[in-house]
Each structure stands twice: as structure tokens, then as C-alpha cells.
Amino acid sequence: MSRPVPVTVILEMRASGTRHPLEIVWEDGRRYEITRSLYLGRKAARSAGSGECWLCLIQGRHVPLYYSPLTGCWWMDGKGQAEAPPAPEAYRPVKDRGHKGPGS
């Protein structure tokens, strides 16, 4: 089971046009340094959504970091239960889409 966790990313934009994530801020505010990162291109996430993916070395473990060019959001795969499906009667007009998932 995994759920998408939105993260804040400290990014280095190089003159060559490439982006290198340096640090991420987890949802609880903890900061993690990215020792090394490798750009993998487009990839579907294990939790939800798809986008550009970097494989990051954080505290000795390789973890994917995703970026959605559609929404500009960054997220990672977190442990835990995915959100519950919406109730059948909830039809929300487009203006106030409730969810804030990676693709929303």
C-alpha cells in the first residue's frame, strides 16, 4: 500500500537547463538531503499519478521523486493507506475539486 505525499523540493537549476533536486521537505516538516539524483524521465508512480521522475539517494536508500508538468506539484510514494474513495452522492463541480492529489 502506498499513498502520494506532496513534498517541497529545494532544486538547483543549472545553466545547462537540467534540474537537480538537493533537498526535500516531508509533510511533517522534516528535511532530507538528497545525496545524489538520477533523472529517469517519464514514469508512473507506485502511489498515484505519473510525471517526470528522479531516482534520489536519501540516507542510503534509493527513492523516486516525481514532478507533474501538468500541475507543477512534486510528490513521493509514502507508506500507508490511500485516501478513501469519495461517497457516491458527492458530485462536485470543477471549481471546487476537493482532492489535492498529484494530478489535481
Residues that bind other proteins (CB under 8 A): 41-45, 47-50, 69-70, 82-88, 90-94, 97, 99, 101-104
CB 31 within 8 A of CB 18: no
User: What cell numbers appear for 100 in the block?
Assistant: 489535492
Q: How far is the CB of 7 from other proteins (least distance, A)?
A: 16
User: Smaller CB distance to other proteins: residue 34 or 48?
Assistant: 48
Q: How far is the CB of 92 from other proteins (least distance, A)?
A: 6
User: Smaller CB distance to other proteins: residue 17 or 41?
Assistant: 41
Q: How far is the CB of 31 from other proteins (least distance, A)?
A: 27
Residue with cell 452522492: 89
User: Smaller CB distance to other proteins: residue 23 or 52?
Assistant: 52
Residues 10, 26: Cα–Cα separation, whole Å: 12
Residue with cell 538520477: 38
Q: How far is the CB of 33 from other proteins (least distance, A)?
A: 28
Nearest to 23 by CA among 14, 10, 41, 35: 10
Nearest to 77 by CA among 48, 100, 55: 48
